Amino acid sequence: MEGLPDVASFSSRLKNTLIQYHNIEDDNWRVAKKTKDVTVWRKPSEEFNGYLYKAQGVIDDIVNSVIDHIRPGPCRLDWDRLMTSLDILEHFEENCCVMRYTTAGQLWNIISPREFVDFSYTVGYKDGLLSCGISLDWSEKRPEFVRGYNHPCGWFCVPLKDNPNQSLLTGYIQTDLCGMIPQSAVDTAMASTLTNFYSDLRKALQKA
């Protein structure tokens, strides 16, 4: 398989990286955007010259249902307004695949449509689930898209202790959009994308 020599060790390293992010002390984060039911923080990324974003909010549904909507599959395209296509390129096990997806232009097309090829892995975490991913250096490119790169990213979803029918969803995203984009435009787009992600996900789960 192109660019991925050992799926098991690759998955394990990715999971451990996300758990490290999840254990970063609160005082290392700076609030980037706050709405009534989602908070987005950021800190300088150690992977590239950009930011690692953290988003957190309570979702009014059970863990499995939330992660089923987030992980790669046709369900994701139905509700995620940023995603315009999604194809599974390689499938290893039920919880592990390589996917190619495209995103719409943002900020009046200051950020043009992007394409990503990501390794995706979903695994148990404490009483819930972690769905995580990282971009691969995939040689096949489509000229109509700029190829973006996701450094280690993922979503932790665990049931609330006092109400297991609700879930605490915490995401870590560090996307290099590549191309010539002002950093201020990237920062505005990332914070808005994450708050929109939660509102769109909530609407989709209410309909499900």
Higher-pLDDT residue of 205 and 108 is 205
Helices (H) and strands (E) in the chain, counts: 4, 10
DSSP code, position 80: -
pLDDT in tens, 174-191: 999 887 777 777 888 889
Is the distance from CB of 151 to CB of 44 less than 8 angstroms?
no
* 29-206: CATH number: 3.30.530.20
pTM, full prediction: 0.93
| Domain boundaries along the sequence of the chain | 29-206
Any idea of the CA torsion for 114, 177, 157, 93, to the nearest 10 degrees? 60
Structure tokens at 199: 């509102």
CA atoms of 31 and 98, how far apart (whole Å): 32
Question: For position 1, what pLDDT does the model report?
Answer: 46
CA atoms of 138 and 71, how far apart (whole Å): 20
Q: Which residues contact 46 (CB under 8 A, 6 or more apart)?
A: 52
Higher-pLDDT residue of 141 and 147 is 147
pLDDT in tens, 43-97: 999 999 999 999 999 999 999 999 999 999 878 989 998 899 999 999 887 799 9
Is the distance from CB of 174 to CB of 153 less than 8 angstroms?
yes
Question: For position 118, what pLDDT does the model report?
Answer: 96
